[in-house]
């Protein structure tokens, strides 16, 4: 039997204290890109009690995604926004999810992420990352950005860190180009980086800084 919304709220309050939970549940968080970072960040935030997410990605789930992204084989071939929503509602069916199955660009980012407290950048290419971060910081006053950069390979867990680049922008990762790392992208280090990103979001909500 699926627990009631009040039961889930009660457990989260017991786990985090009512003061902490009330801040987290009122937040509106954006996830730009639902690959290895974004799909895992979204799950962590919903588990932590975030109840309103804006998720955006234009891709479908592929077999090659399963080694590190938070999807199952049954999701192959369906839009990542739909697959992510399914996974998130299995954790908390009462979460509010605003889906955008579109390519993000300067023209639509401000409207899609309007009112978000924090937007998590989880794109693949440096140019897309820079475009989204610049657009958020320039066009979305009051919205902070948390970005992932560098999590390829295996081992070296403690090399992944969170750094404040400047006011409103936080970077999580090891800063090493994927081309310079053996082993490609694997779930453990991708999840460590995603954990840093989710943790940074919570710190920003609760303390205003990381």
Summarize pLDDT for 67-110 with one digit per residue, the tens: 999 999 999 999 999 999 999 999 999 999 999 999 999 999 99
What residue spans of the chain are helical by DSSP H? 5-16, 18-25, 36-48, 80-91, 109-112, 126-139, 187-207
Sorted by sequence, the CB contacts under 8 Å of residue 74 that are 6+ apart come out as none
Mean pLDDT throughout 171-195?
87
Inter-CA distances, 48 with 104, 111, 154, Å: 27, 26, 26
Say what the pLDDT of residue 184 is.
84
More reliable by pLDDT, 177 or 136: 136
- Of residues 155 and 61, more confidently modeled: 61
- Predicted pLDDT at 183: 73
> Which tens digit of pLDDT belongs to each residue from 17-46?
999 999 999 999 999 999 999 999 999 999
Q: Which residues pair with 163 in a beta bridge?
A: 171
**Chain position carrying tokens 């999580």:** 172
Question: Which residue in the block uniquely carries the two structure tokens 């049954």?
Answer: 74
pTM of the entire predicted model: 0.96
Residue 163 CA to residue 171 CA, distance in Å, equals 5
* Residue-range domains of the chain with CATH: 19-207 (3.40.50.720)
193: CB partners within 8 A, 6+ apart: 37, 148, 150, 151, 160, 172, 173
Q: CB–CB of 134/145 below 8 Å?
A: no
pLDDT at 138 over 80: yes
Stretch 171-179: mean pLDDT, rounded? 84
What is the per-residue pLDDT for 177?
73
The pLDDT > 90 percentage for the chain reads: 89
């Amino acid at each position: 039997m699926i627990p009631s919304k009040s039961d889930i709220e009660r457990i989260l309050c017991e786990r985090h204290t009512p003061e902490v939970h009330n801040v987290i549940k009122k937040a509106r968080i954006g996830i730009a890109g639902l690959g290895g970072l974004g799909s895992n960040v979204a799950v962590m935030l919903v588990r932590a009690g975030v109840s309103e997410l804006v998720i955006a990605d234009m891709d479908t789930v592929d077999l090659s995604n399963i080694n590190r992204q938070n999807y199952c084989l049954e999701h192959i071939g369906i839009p990542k926004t739909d697959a992510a929503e399914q996974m998130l509602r299995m954790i908390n069916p009462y979460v509010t999810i605003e889906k955008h199955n579109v390519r993000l660009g300067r023209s639509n980012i401000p409207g899609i992420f309007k009112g978000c407290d924090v937007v998590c950048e989880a794109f693949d290419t440096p140019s897309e990352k820079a475009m989204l971060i610049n657009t958020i910081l320039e066009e979305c006053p009051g919205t902070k950005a948390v970005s992932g950069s560098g999590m390829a390979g295996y081992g070296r867990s403690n090399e992944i860190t969170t750094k404040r680049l400047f006011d409103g922008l936080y970077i999580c990762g090891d800063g090493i180009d994927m081309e310079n790392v053996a082993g490609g992208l694997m779930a453990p280090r991708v999840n460590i980086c995603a954990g840093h990103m989710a943790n940074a979001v919570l710190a920003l909500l609760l303390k205003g800084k990381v």
